[in-house]
Every structure is written in C-alpha cells, then in structure tokens.
Amino acid sequence: MHKKLLIWDLPLRLFHWAFACTILALWYTAEQEGEFIELHMQLGYFALGLVIFRIIWGFVGPTHAKFSSFMPSPKSLYHYLCKQSSPSKPIAGHNPLGALMILLMLLLVLVQAISGLFIDDDIFSSGPYYGTISKETEKLMRFLHHNVFDLILASIVLHLSAITYYWQVKKLNLVKPMITGKKSTKLVDKSTAIAHSKIVLAIIIALLTAAFVYWLVIINAPVSDDFYY
Ligand code: HEM
Ligand code: HEM
C-alpha cells in the first residue's frame, strides 16, 4: 500500500493560490482604462504582503518551503539538467530549475509592487509614495511598473509550460500536491515528509505582515487620497 506524505504545508499552498489569483486580478484591473485603479492598488498591497510573507516563510517555514532546502546552485542545476536519466525518485520539493523560476517570480512581483507605490495614473489616483522621490527615480519606477509585468507574464507562461511538460511528458501531476499538500510514497521517500504545517507560526507572521503593510501604505503614507478631492 502506498501512503500519502505531507510535502507542501497549508500556508504555502494558500499563499500559492492567493498569489496566482491576485496577480491575475491585478492584470485585469490594470487593463480597464483606470476604471478599477483603486481596486488595483489595494490588490497590489495584498500582493506585496503575500511576497513578504513568502520571503519570511522561506526562512522559518517547514522544510520544503525553506529557501535553504531548494536554493539552486550552478552544480545542482547542471546535475538536474544533464543527469535527468538517473533512476532515483523525483525530488519531493522544488527541483533546481523550478526553484530558480520561483525566486525570479517573487523578485519580479516585489519590484512590480514597490514601483507601484511611487507612481500615478495621470488622472486622479496615485500610489501612497507618489511625489516623494526625484523626477528621474519616478520615471524609473514608471518604466519598471510598465515593463516588469511583461517579464512576470513570461515567467507565468514558462511556469505553466513546465507544469504541463511534467504532466504530459513525465506523467507527473504537480498540481494535485499543490492543492492537497500530499505526495505518494510511490513517488517520494518517507524521510522527505514534513511533520506539520506550522499553522500558528504562519498566522502570527501573516498578522505581522498585514500590520507592516498597513503601516507602510496607510499610516506612514505621505500621499492621502483626500488630497485630490
Ligand atoms: C492556474 C495556474 C497555476 C497553476 C496550475 C500552478 C501550479 C503550480 C505548481 C504545481 C507548483 C509547484 C511546483 C513544484 O512542484 O515545484 C507551483 C509553484 C509556484 N507557483 Fe504556480 N501555478 C499557477 C499559477 C501561478 C501564478 C499566476 C503565479 C504567480 C506569478 C505562480 C507562482 C508560483 C510560485 C511562486 C510557486 C512556488 C510556491 C512556493 O514555494 O511558495 N503560480 N505552481
Ligand atoms: C504586484 C503587484 C502589481 C502588479 C502585478 C501590477 C500590474 C500593473 C500593470 C500590468 C499595469 C499596466 C501598465 C501599463 O499600462 O503598461 C499597472 C498600472 C498601474 N499600477 Fe500596478 N501593479 C501592481 C501593484 C501596484 C501598486 C501597489 C500600485 C499603487 C499603490 C499600483 C499602481 C498602478 C498605477 C497607478 C497604474 C497606472 C499607471 C499608468 O496609467 O501610467 N500598482 N499595474
């Protein structure tokens, strides 16, 4: 009998699906000619909070959430790409190439969210730190906000292509474990299972992160919306 082992903790899974939905909603609200810009900004704060949470979780979460467990090195990438045919079981957590993509996605979304704080939409709405930096830096922020998203989209396409490749060619369903958290002992070693999801710690970090983002975009924000009315 094959047993099911817990690999992806619940906070990581909730993070993933919230992150995916938020990025898609940010894309949609940005494309509606300013109609949804307030909602866009609020979703942007949420995305910023999600990335901060995931970074902290990468240090204190369970094994497979930890950066130290999947930080790719040139050596691990070479091994993964060139010695694929080895008969060993698939890696329980992220593989080195996937890990590289994940770090890139987190970094790109962080840059996108931070640059958003400093720009306006040329109509009524502006990020909470609009006008607090020099004109040149503001230009750079605008450039980043208008262009980094194309890189985010490209990385999502690669992300989904890799998952489809695993599913169709390697006959490995990676999506189900990202929903249930579990992988079968048929595929991964018993020793790779995590004991539990560290839910209480995750709740504390989520609350602290939410408080920090609230402070950053509301309490400490020099630009208030009332300014325009
Ligand atoms: C419906 C669309 C999506 C599906 C089916 C999907 C599926 C997956 C799966 C299966 C994994 C685990 C990969 C592994 O086994 O190593 C994963 C990880 C990840 N995905 Fe997605 N994904 C989707 C959309 C997105 C989007 C839109 C983003 C945002 C840019 C995203 C960002 C990530 C990140 C950051 C991870 C790493 C999770 C972590 O370690 O915290 N995904 N995704
Ligand atoms: C990760 C989070 C975010 C994503 C993925 C995102 C994505 C986008 C995209 C794709 C556009 C359209 C750019 C274009 O027309 O070329 C846009 C525009 C905009 N975003 Fe964001 N955004 C994010 C966060 C934020 C935040 C936090 C704010 C402000 C608080 C913000 C404020 C704006 C504004 C004001 C515009 C309009 C810019 C213009 O019309 O020139 N965004 N965003």
Q: What is the pTM of this model?
A: 0.93
- Nearest-CA residue for ligand 2 atom 42 is 116
Site to probe by mutation for ligand 2, drawn from 29, 37, 40, 156 as the one with most ligand atoms within 8 Å of Cβ, is 40
**Phi, psi (deg, nearest 5) at residue 57:** -60, -30
In what helix (H) or strand (E) does residue 211 lie, and over which residues does it extend? helix 199-214
> Would you list the domain boundaries of the chain?
4-228
CATH topology of domain 4-228: Fumarate Reductase Cytochrome B subunit (1.20.950)
Residues in contact with ligand 1 (CB, 6 Å cut-off): 12, 15-16, 19-20, 23, 54, 94, 98, 102, 105-106, 156, 159-160, 163, 174-175, 178
pLDDT score, position 35: 85
The 10s digit of each residue's pLDDT in 120-150 is 998 888 999 999 999 999 999 999 999 999 9
Smallest CA-to-CA distance from 25 within 44, 52, 8, 9 is with 44
Integer Cα distance of 179 and 176 in angstroms: 5
pLDDT score, position 228: 47
Q: Which long-range contacts link 80-89 to residues 24+ away (Cβ below 8 Å)?
A: 89/187, 89/188, 89/189
